[in-house]
A = this chain, B = another copy of it.
């Protein structure tokens, strides 16, 4: 790697996120190659001119030879086999991932003894599409990219991972795994669950209801168009946090239902919802600045800044 962290990249999984990452890193001038399990996926990426193989040991051997940063970019259910191969063929490489949950990945990484050089990541970007044909080098532009700052984080690997997020056009959000998982239960996994339920309610109204559906239904159900297996792979590994926020939401909806029934009023819900949406719309990212990876208390400082909406836009 170069002194400023623009290391070579080995991307495992070239679907929407991994493939877009391969494109974005290449566009940023990185040496980058990938592995994909499916032959058609490999062929599609190669046809686009990218260096992708179906030979996992070869991709990982190359990572070891060039001290590349390895990026695990497969859904949670496919993570263990990847880590197993990494432990065999590239145990000393820097390691990150772009999986939608962080604590389960970190636990798996520990099971394979790879925690020394691991820093979790999660770019908050995606579409309801999937596969190489949906990849876009601009997918991460302006996105928040969660970067792990759990106790014991290696400053060197952390710098590499943060640099990757910045090179892809994202801002880095420092966050520990458990807090990440609770946050995404609220702003990513719950939206999926509610979108599915809303789609079902609409379709139960038949052709008439679907024919009258306009913007609120279209936007509210958009992510229900995501392949069910992918939604499950995103949400189910975070079931504890999702159950907690689902219970909170069931309570809020039950209270709103009671108010509508007894006093024909949605006053409380609409006031709270509007205030919440306004807070979201007006939230401003602020630059954390003066980051010294490895300095005394650097992780605690980043953890606190991330909780308060701070981001990193440069190193």
Contacts and interface: CB of A to CB of B under 8 A. Distances in A.
In the assembly, how many copies of this chain are there? 2
Interface in A275-305: 275-281, 283, 285
Interface in A194-238: 194-229, 231-232, 235-236
A187 B202 contact: yes
A169 interface: no
Contact of A270 (B179, B190, B196, B307): B196
B214 A201 contact: no
A192 interface: yes
B307 A215 contact: no
A122 to B, nearest CB: 8
16 contacts: A180-B212, A188-B214, A194-B198, A195-B273, A200-B252, A201-B249, A201-B252, A202-B276, A211-B306, A211-B311, A215-B223, A221-B280, A225-B274, A231-B270, A236-B260, A250-B257
A196 B272 contact: yes
Interface of A: 124-127, 143-144, 146, 173, 175, 179-180, 182-184, 186-188, 190-229, 231-232, 235-236, 239, 242-243, 245-250, 252-254, 256-257, 260-261, 264-267, 269-281, 283, 285, 306-309, 311
Contacts of A281: 225
Contacts of A267: 228, 232
Nearest to A280: B210
A179 B212 CA distance: 11
Contact of A208 (B183, B239, B246, B247): B183
Contacts of A253: 193-194, 197, 246, 249-250, 253
Contacts of A203: 275-276, 279-280
Contacts of A218: 280
A97 B275 CA distance: 31
Contacts of A207: 283, 307-309
Given A184-B212, A192-B216, A260-B243, A197 B232 contact: no
A214 B100 CA distance: 13
Contacts of A206: 307
Nearest to A282: B210
A247 B253 CA distance: 10
B204 A187 contact: no
Contacts of A257: 243, 246-247, 250
A229 B270 CA distance: 8
Given A198-B190, A227-B274, A208 B173 contact: yes
